[in-house]
Amino acid sequence: MCKVPKTKLLRLVPPTSNEPVVHQETHTDDSEILSCTVKALKDGHIVAVPTDTIYGLACLAQNTEAVKKIYGVKERNGQKPLAICVGEIQDIFQYCKVKVKEELLRDLLPGPVTLVFERSEELNTNLNPFTSLVGVRIPDHAFMRRLCQMCGEPLALTSANISSQTSTVEVHEFQELWSKLAVVVDGGPIGDETRQGSTVIDLSVLGKYRVIRPGCALSATLNMLEHKYGMSEDSGEE
């Protein structure tokens, strides 16, 4: 198992004056930050990253040992699934069995929505082995999209906090986790102060949707699904 290296704090934006300075490395070149983060991921480490909703912890979804580590860092129940994060719409078709129009995907993504589909055989069987479904995200965040593109494979993504604790919108809020991470990418305060995270919608049943987590974009998402695509809520009844 890889030993966690000294944590690197890499800033995408100038820090505010009241943020702690721990293992600080200031970079003005985002490409350098991307390269450093990609290397840490490829080496099997866990990193913290900004998204369009809250801060997240990420590892390579296809790396079973890294997936185990991310559960340990979060102290997360092993029966709770991790979502995957990809850089492009076409990537979703590689790792998921999609039963909706590509136009629907493009209407909702990139954005603060996690869509749940049946998983494909290409996804690591040790990621969420207890379910045939997987949630997939494309955050509306330039750094995250580029990171996924440069990795060339999906990231496993979860919130940057100890399980059951409050989601985080600034890096200092999860400082107790830094020592377990190879890289902390500081993108500054994230605008979603509701801390709700993404809206999670199950689209694995043809023509139906099921709300798994309301999140921060529920109303707009349901409006799109119902009025543009004529989908109805899955009541679970046969």
- CA–CA separation, 178 vs 3, rounded Å? 14
Mean of pLDDT over the chain: 91
- The encoded tokens of residue 186 equal 């500081």
Model pLDDT, residue 4? 63
Whose CA is closest to 41, among 13, 73, 4?
Answer: 4
- The pTM assigned to this predicted structure is 0.91
174 close to 50: Cβ distance less than 8 angstroms? no
178 close to 22: Cβ distance less than 8 angstroms? yes
- CA–CA separation, 84 vs 151, rounded Å? 13
**Residues 81-107, buried b or exposed e (16+ Cβ, 10 A)?**
bbbbbbbeeebbeebbebebeeebbeb
- The encoded tokens of residue 72 equal 């340990």
- The strand ranges marked E within 27-186 are 47-50, 55-60, 83-85, 96-97, 113-119, 133-137, 155-159, 183-186
Is 2 a residue whose pLDDT tops 90?
no
Model pLDDT, residue 14? 55
Question: What is the band of 20 on the pLDDT scale with cuts at 50, 70, 90?
Answer: very low
Consecutive H or E run containing 92: helix 89-95
